[in-house]
């Protein structure tokens, strides 16, 4: 991977990306929250629940990339305002996705971390735009992308001057249809061999199945992941998007407890 | 199928009725704004009249309004309405309310500062800072409240120039935290915003926010005035920087709150009166000019240093009538009845070409 200059591990210490009190690359960071911000009440209730369940950061989509143009597209700026209120209520910083270069500065005004979604991983104008900021970026792996292509996208962001990049493995397309995607856990130690950047995993999109989220979270932690991003809804059956893969707050807190115990156990082995 | 049974038609009717009612609500809002303005002018007139009851003036008001008679507005109704309005104005004039002039429109930061001074203060909008000074001097208002400096943007130069020249007294001060909001018409897509209108001070306090979001700053005479202008003009590509109060007054949506470049954004205001303050005071403002020679300003400042008097601000302003010459405004902590302070001021007066004591007043806490 000769094209990597800023992202490559060579000669560089491992990066730590800090968002509020969460340190990616130094400790295990759990981001949790609903797929979409649906209302102030829903977001704040979920935010308080995931905080109590052990989350370090909030997530919530205000601008949504949906397969169908007729599906709920997100609340937009209103969603960002609600996320800011949830941050105020819990003290937890939040990550949210940006889809459009024209929205980048606005999302940055509100959010603590900007997410580039899997579908936009190779949207180079969007990568350059977030690269001009100093705001931390969560770069998801494209569903058809190789690790090399993914790392080159991080290179785009860093080349513009923003060193605060966190990678996120979220599953790739395979011939398997039982799961929504195939969570590529081997990507975690692979990235660690190639790059100094922190990498987390998204077992929600990686599996698309509630029953598989906890086992894959534990597997991710065991593989050396720096954290997780997990969808939680106060009442998954009522969710406006991705309702089949959202955990209840109770399921989430059980998962967080087990993962933290595993991370602590592994720390004791070193 | 007749019209009332057609569900589509019924739906159309409800939509129409809703629109008509929205128009009525909006007209009511405008009527109240105009009525408030009328009361404000009546109160100002009351400060000049010897007797509040003035039958010939009332008759001329009735003549003026009944000349617009129409089938929907009968003379009898108009006369009844105006009798009520006039009687309410007289009632207000009787109460001896204290009027405070401020630059800008209702919802301006100066007005928010006036609210902190007490409930019995009635804020009266003025177009320019000069109008505030003139209104206090002429007796239209008991007081005027004007901003002198801001923690991010610095001196409000026009006000400082007026302070150098005025014969009014400073009788109080207020320091108000300023949190600006980006406002737009309800339902505006943030991507459409191109330019932002506000008072140059507010635009300056949010300079990096505007530049980050590629918004062009457009100076306007007042923050709240810009909000009213936007609500009236319905420009989708325009935003306004103003207070939340201005957003509420003009039905605008808050796109982003706290857009000032630093959270510790505060503006210091001074209260003007034609009479000097009589109550306790621990701060003073003076204006002076010195000869153009080496060490002239130093000679003045040395007097304060030797007397161990703490200065809180020094501002230099070119004298507009005499370019090349400068006046200084100086604030210090000290009481009027303190012998050292009195002596120092006497010596400053002897050392300077022009000297004016703008007054002693209680220091505000930040």
Beta pairing class for B121-126 and B143-150 = unpaired
Contact B252, B227 (CB under 8 A): yes
Cα(A132)–Cα(B41) distance, rounded to whole angstroms? 53
Q: Which residues from chain B sit within 8 angstroms of residue A109, using beta carbons?
A: 209, 212-213, 256, 259
- Name the minimum distance, in Å, from the CA of B191 to any CA of chain A: 6
Neighbours of B284 (CB within 10 A): 23
B288 pLDDT above the threshold of 70 = yes
- Name the minimum distance, in Å, from the CA of A139 to any CA of chain B: 22
Residues facing residue B98 across a β-bridge = B121
Q: Is B263 on the interface with A (CB under 8 A)?
A: no
- Name the minimum distance, in Å, from the CA of B256 to any CA of chain A: 8
Which residue, B201, B281, B186, is CA-closest to B234?
B186
- Percentages helix, strand, coil for chain A, rounded to the nearest 5? 40, 15, 40
Whether residue A105 and residue B214 make contact (CB cut-off 8 A), yes or no, is yes
- Tens digits of per-residue pLDDT, A162-216? 999 999 999 999 999 999 999 999 999 999 999 999 999 999 999 999 999 999 9
Q: Which residues from chain B sit within 8 angstroms of residue A106, using beta carbons?
A: 190, 213
pLDDT of residue B47: 83
Interface residue of A84, A109, A130 to substitute, partner B, most B CBs within 10 Å? A109
DSSP string, B16-66: HHHHHHHHHHHHHHHHHHHHHHHHHHHHHHHTT-S-S--HHHHHHHHHHHH
Contact B274, B168 (CB under 8 A): yes
- Tens digits of per-residue pLDDT, A238-256? 888 888 899 999 999 999 9
Percent of chain A at pLDDT exceeding 90 = 87
Q: What are phi and psi of B254, to 5 degrees?
A: -80, 115
Q: How far apart are the first and last CA of chain A?
A: 29
Range in B24-28, B48-52, B63-67, B183-187 the model is least confident about: B48-52
B1 pLDDT above the threshold of 60 = no
pLDDT of residue A241: 84
Active site residue B267: yes
Residue A135, CA distances (Å) to A4, A12, A80, A115 in order: 22, 21, 16, 10
Which residue, B315, B324, B325, is CA-closest to B353?
B325
Range in A6-15, A78-87, B184-193, B265-274 the model is least confident about: A6-15
Neighbours of B281 (CB within 10 A): 20
Contact B155, B75 (CB under 8 A): no
Cα(B6)–Cα(B26) distance, rounded to whole angstroms? 31
Q: Which residues from chain B sit within 8 angstroms of residue A105, using beta carbons?
A: 212-214
- Tens digits of per-residue pLDDT, B73-109? 888 888 899 999 999 999 988 888 899 999 999 989 9
Q: What is the ipTM of this complex?
A: 0.77
Q: Which residue has the higher pLDDT, B76 or A57?
A: A57
B8 pLDDT above the threshold of 70 = no
Residue A11: band (very low, low, confident or very high) from pLDDT cuts 50, 70, 90 = low
Ramachandran bin of A161, using left for φ above 0, alpha for ψ from -120 to 50, beta for the remaining angles:
left
Comparing CB atoms, the residue among A102, A108, A109 nearest residue B191 is A102
Cα(B324)–Cα(B292) distance, rounded to whole angstroms? 10
- Name the minimum distance, in Å, from the CA of A44 to any CA of chain B: 19
Range in A4-13, A53-62, A108-117, B217-226 the model is least confident about: A4-13
Ramachandran bin of A208, using left for φ above 0, alpha for ψ from -120 to 50, beta for the remaining angles:
left
Contact A56, A31 (CB under 8 A): yes
Q: Is B97 exposed, middle or buried (0-12, 13-18, 19+ CB in 10 A)?
A: middle
Which residue in chain A has the smallest CA separation from B188?
A77
Neighbours of B194 (CB within 10 A): 14
Residues facing residue A167 across a β-bridge = A139, A199
- Name the minimum distance, in Å, from the CA of A106 to any CA of chain B: 7
A97 pLDDT above the threshold of 80 = yes
Active site residue B4: no
Task: Summarize the confidence of residues B235-239 as an average pLDDT.
Answer: 93
Instruction: Specify the DSSP class assigned to residue B309.
Output: P
Q: At what angle do helices A40-52 and A249-269 cross, to 10 degrees?
A: 40
Cα(A57)–Cα(A43) distance, rounded to whole angstroms? 13
B143 pLDDT above the threshold of 90 = yes
Q: Is B86 on the interface with A (CB under 8 A)?
A: no
Whether residue A108 and residue B190 make contact (CB cut-off 8 A), yes or no, is no
Q: Is B63 on the interface with A (CB under 8 A)?
A: no
Residues facing residue B70 across a β-bridge = B73
pLDDT of residue B323: 80
Looking at every residue in chain A, the average pLDDT score rounds to 95
Task: Summarize the confidence of residues B155-164 as an average pLDDT.
Answer: 94
Q: What are phi and psi of A177, to 5 degrees?
A: -110, -5
Which residue, B331, B318, B321, B319, is CA-closest to B361?
B331
Q: Which residues from chain A sit within 8 angstroms of residue B259, using beta carbons?
A: 109
Percent of chain B at pLDDT exceeding 90 = 68
Contact B146, B170 (CB under 8 A): no
Among B269, B288, B304, B328, the active-site one is B269
- At A118 the three-state DSSP class reads helix
Residue A264: band (very low, low, confident or very high) from pLDDT cuts 50, 70, 90 = very high
Q: What are phi and psi of A167, to 5 degrees?
A: -90, 155
- Torsion from C-alpha of B304, B306, B308, B313, nearest 10 degrees: 30
Range in A46-55, A127-136, B46-55, B310-319 the model is least confident about: B46-55
Whether residue B256 and residue A103 make contact (CB cut-off 8 A), yes or no, is no
Contact B360, B336 (CB under 8 A): yes
Contact A245, A209 (CB under 8 A): yes
Q: Which residues from chain B sit within 8 angstroms of residue A110, using beta carbons?
A: 256
Task: Summarize the confidence of residues B37-60 as an average pLDDT.
Answer: 84
Comparing CB atoms, the residue among A77, A102, A105 nearest residue B255 is A77
With helix as H, strand as E and coil as C, how does A197-253 read? Answer: CCEEECHHHHHCCHHHHHHHHHHHHHCCCCEEEEEECCCHHHCCCCHHHCECHHHHH
Q: Is B347 on the interface with A (CB under 8 A)?
A: no
Q: What are phi and psi of A107, to 5 degrees?
A: -60, -40
Q: Is B209 on the interface with A (CB under 8 A)?
A: yes
Among B166, B267, B285, B290, the active-site one is B267
Which residue, B315, B330, B331, is CA-closest to B283?
B331
Which residue in chain A has the smallest CA separation from B189?
A77
Q: Number of helices (H) and strands (E) in chain A: give both, helices first.
A: 9, 10
Residue B207: band (very low, low, confident or very high) from pLDDT cuts 50, 70, 90 = very high
- Tens digits of per-residue pLDDT, B322-358? 887 889 999 999 998 899 999 999 999 999 999 999 9
Beta pairing class for B195-198 and B216-219 = parallel
pLDDT of residue B28: 92
Comparing CB atoms, the residue among B213, B255, B259 nearest residue A105 is B213
pLDDT of residue A173: 95
Percent of chain B at pLDDT exceeding 70 = 95
């Amino acid at each position: 991977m000769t094209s990597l200059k800023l992202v490559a591990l060579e000669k560089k210490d491992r990066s730590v990306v800090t968002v509020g009190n969460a340190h990616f690359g130094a400790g295990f960071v759990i981001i949790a929250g609903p797929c979409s911000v649906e209302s102030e009440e829903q977001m704040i209730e979920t935010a308080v629940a995931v905080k109590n369940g052990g989350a370090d950061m909030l997530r919530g989509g205000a601008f949504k990339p949906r397969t169908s143009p007729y599906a709920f597209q997100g609340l937009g700026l209103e969603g960002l305002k609600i996320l800011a209120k949830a941050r105020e209520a819990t003290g937890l910083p939040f990550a949210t996705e940006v889809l459009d270069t024209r929205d980048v500065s606005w999302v940055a005004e509100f959010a603590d971390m900007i997410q580039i979604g899997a579908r936009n991983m190779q949207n180079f104008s969007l990568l350059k735009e977030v690269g001009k900021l100093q705001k931390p970026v969560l770069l998801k792996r494209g569903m058809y992308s190789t690790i090399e292509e993914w790392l080159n996208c991080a290179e785009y962001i860093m080349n513009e001057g923003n060193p605060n990049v966190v990678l996120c493995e979220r599953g790739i397309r395979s011939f398997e249809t039982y799961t929504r995607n195939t969570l590529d856990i081997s990507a975690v130690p692979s990235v660690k061999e190639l790059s100094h950047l922190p990498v987390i995993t998204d077992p929600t999109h990686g599996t698309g199945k509630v029953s598989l989220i906890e086992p894959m979270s534990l597997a991710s932690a065991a593989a050396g992941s720096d954290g997780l991003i997990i969808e939680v809804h106060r009442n998954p059956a009522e969710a406006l998007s991705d309702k089949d893969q959202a955990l209840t707050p109770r399921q989430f807190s059980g998962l967080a407890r087990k993962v933290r115990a595993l991370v602590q156990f592994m720390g004791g082995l070193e | 199928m007749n019209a009332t049974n057609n569900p589509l038609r019924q739906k159309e009717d409800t939509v129409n009725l809703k629109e008509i009612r929205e128009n009525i609500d909006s007209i009511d809002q405008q009527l109240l704004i105009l009525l408030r303005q009328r009361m404000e002018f009546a109160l100002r007139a009351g400060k000049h009249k010897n007797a509040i009851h003035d039958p010939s003036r009332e008759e001329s008001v009735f003549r003026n309004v009944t000349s617009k008679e129409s089938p929907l507005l009968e003379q009898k109704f108009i006369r009844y309405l105006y009798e009520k309005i006039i009687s309410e104005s007289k009632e207000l004039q009787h109460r001896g309310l204290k009027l405070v002039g401020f630059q800008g429109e209702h919802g301006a930061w100066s007005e928010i500062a006036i609210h902190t001074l007490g409930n019995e203060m009635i804020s009266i909008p003025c177009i320019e800072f000069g109008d505030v000074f003139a209104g206090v001097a002429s007796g239209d208002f008991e007081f005027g409240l004007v901003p002198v400096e801001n923690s991010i943007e610095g001196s409000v130069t026009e006000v400082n120039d007026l302070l150098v020249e005025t014969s009014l007294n400073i009788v109080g001060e207020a320091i108000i935290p300023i949190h600006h909001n980006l406002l737009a018409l309800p339902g505006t897509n943030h991507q459409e915003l191109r330019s932002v209108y506000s008072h140059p001070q507010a635009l300056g306090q949010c300079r990096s926010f505007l530049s980050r979001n590629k918004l062009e700053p457009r100076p306007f005479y007042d923050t709240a005035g810009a909000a009213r202008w936007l609500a009236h003009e319905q420009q989708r590509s325009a935003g306004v920087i103003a207070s939340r109060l201005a957003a509420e007054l003009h039905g605008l949506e808050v796109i982003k709150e706290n857009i000032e470049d630093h959270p510790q954004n505060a503006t210091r205001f001074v209260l003007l009166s034609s009479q000097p303050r009589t109550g306790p005071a621990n701060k003073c403002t003076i204006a002076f000019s010195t000869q153009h020679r080496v060490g002239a300003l130093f000679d003045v400042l040395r007097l304060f240093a030797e007397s161990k008097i703490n200065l809180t601000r020094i501002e230099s302003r070119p004298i507009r009538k005499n370019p090349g010459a400068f006046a200084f405004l100086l604030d210090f902590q000290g009481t009027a009845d303190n012998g050292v302070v009195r002596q120092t001021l006497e010596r400053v007066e002897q050392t300077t070409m022009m000297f004016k004591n703008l007054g002693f007043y209680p220091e505000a806490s930040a």
